[in-house]
Amino acid sequence: MSSTHLIGKTVLVVEDDPKIRKLISLYLENEGYEVTEAADGKDAKVKIEKFDPCILILDLMLPNISGEEICRWVREDLKSVMPIIILSAKVSEKERIRGFKLGADDYVIKPFSPGELMVRIEAVLRRTASRCGKLSFTGFTIKPVKGEAQINGEKLELTHFEFKLLHALMQHPNQILSREQILQLIYEKNEKVVSDRTIDVHIKHLREKIKEKTPKDYIQTVRGMGYKFVGV
């Protein structure tokens, strides 16, 4: 199974059983996700506000604050549309319906297959792709809705075009994009388009700004073909 197209998505796993939590995290990391963990409801609230994950894997039976309360808090207090997958040993139809009414996007019954959970995560992220534009790689985060980019916690000062260019590349990690493909990703129909060779100039400036923050070469040139963003 491959989820290359979903690399860069951040996942918060909230589960009080350390074995289950670590198992889920291991599978997610092997699929290229960036994972944060919480062992109880109180820590979950802190990490939701701090990391703004793209999807929440939420156990219902948690210490301090229940998963149901966390789900309600996310939907009602934060007014967040963050995708949520509930994990629960409660198997009745009544409990599943209750979970969906709380705002869950999927409900997975324990015990579960880690492989099936990965497929369900992919499916939920596809259905809810418009909810989370944030992309995170090791040390590199971009938030298109806010127009922010950071490397190791430091803000990257970019022009509007440089930001759009970086976003286009990061949406297709480890894939070679030609100049023409990049322009198609950046511009809407009927919008005035710059020359494809202008891309080279902007790439040069973008690289220079990135290298001021880190020695890692995130944007690579593939001679005769184009450019690619190397996220891992």
Could you give the angle at which helices 160-170 and 179-186 cross, rounded to 10 degrees? 110
Distance CA 48, CA 182 (A): 33
Our count of domains for the chain comes to 2
Q: 131-190, pLDDT tens digit by residue? A: 666 777 877 888 775 678 889 888 999 988 898 899 889 888 889 999 989 988 887 544
CATH classification of the domain holding 217:
1.10.10.10
What's the whole-number mean pLDDT along residues 81-98?
Answer: 91
The domain in which residue 41 lies consists of: 4-131
Distance CA 107, CA 91 (A): 10
C-beta atoms surrounding 27 within 10 Å? 17
Q: What's the whole-number average pLDDT of the chain?
A: 86
* Helix/strand/coil for 212: coil
Q: Reply yes or no on whether the pLDDT at 1 is more than 90.
A: no
136 vs 115: which has the higher pLDDT: 115
Bond into 63 cis (ω within 30): no
Task: Tell me if 88 sits within 8 A of 59, measured CB to CB.
Answer: yes
Domain boundary among 69, 97, 131: 131
pTM for the model stands at: 0.62
Distance CA 162, CA 176 (A): 18
Q: Reply yes or no on whether the pLDDT at 101 is more than 80.
A: yes
